[in-house]
Structure formats: C-alpha cells, structure tokens
Amino acid sequence: MLRTMGSAGVVVAEDTHGREKSRKSGWLWPVGVMATGFAGVVLVALRGCWHRRMSWPVRMQGHAYQVCLGCGAKRLFDEEHFRAYGPYRYDLNELIAWKKASNTEKRTLPHVERPAS
Ligand SMILES: [Zn+2]
C-alpha cells in the first residue's frame, strides 16, 4: 500500500502521541513503523532508508528538526517533549509549512502551566 504524493504533496504521519515503541519491541517493529505513519514508509520505499539514525536536533529560524544520516530526510523535532513529530521531508520549507498548518489547528488548545507547588 503506497500513497502517492498528491498535488498537495501532503502525506501526514498520524502520530499517536508518545507511543513510539522504538527500543523495547524487537519483533514488533513492523507494527511500530506502521504506527509511526506512512510518510516514513513512503520514503523507505523510495530510498530504502528506515531513518534509523537521525542527527542531533538542529535549530533553524526558530524551527528544530532532525536530519536522517542515511538519506538526508528531515523531520521536525519537539524540543519541549524531546521527540520528533510530523512527516519526513527533504525540503525544510515544506516542514515549516506543515508546522504552520498544524499550529493553527492546535492554537485553540488551552495552554496549561503546572503551578509549582
Ligand atoms: Zn533516511
């Protein structure tokens, strides 16, 4: 099953928050890959790269992202929660556009700050 990149070029990985079982589940890894989303799988199909080795997060114009050491795919990185999110893209501008689009949706969420007890 392979989604073609449509005219919009948007292949969004549906990240279920924080559920990536990267290390623990040896035999479960295909499930983990599927849960991680299809964007990575599509790039795997194209490049034969699993994006296993990601660079240390790089910050650029207020955006943090990681770069795959194998093929150069980029992925946004959440410094607050210290995890990567969103689709894999080779073009940083596409990631920034994706981020802006998703940010406008999430902006309605209440900003919760835990009071220091
Ligand atoms: Zn890669």
Per-residue model confidence (pLDDT) at position 81? 94
Task: Let me know if residue 6 belongs to a domain.
Answer: no
Task: Let me know if residue 113 belongs to a domain.
Answer: no
Task: Let me know if residue 95 belongs to a domain.
Answer: yes
Mean pLDDT of 47-71: 91
Question: Average per-residue pLDDT in the chain?
Answer: 75
Q: How many domains does the chain have?
A: 1
Centre of ligand 1 to C-alpha 74, Å, is 8
Q: Is 50 exposed, middle or buried (0-12, 13-18, 19+ CB in 10 A)?
A: middle
Q: Residue 3 and residue 5: Cα distance in Å, rounded?
A: 6
Task: Let me know if residue 22 belongs to a domain.
Answer: no
Phi, psi of 77 (to 5 degrees): -130, 130
Centre of ligand 1 to C-alpha 70, Å, is 5
Task: Let me know if residue 111 belongs to a domain.
Answer: no
Centre of ligand 1 to C-alpha 68, Å, is 5
Task: Let me know if residue 1 belongs to a domain.
Answer: no
Closest CA to 15 of 31, 38, 46, 48: 38
Centre of ligand 1 to C-alpha 107, Å, is 31
Q: Label residue 68 by pLDDT band (50, 70, 90).
A: very high
Q: Which domain holds residue 91?
A: 29-106
pTM: 0.52
19-23 CB contacts, 8 Å cutoff, 24+ apart: 20/83
Task: Let me know if residue 102 belongs to a domain.
Answer: yes
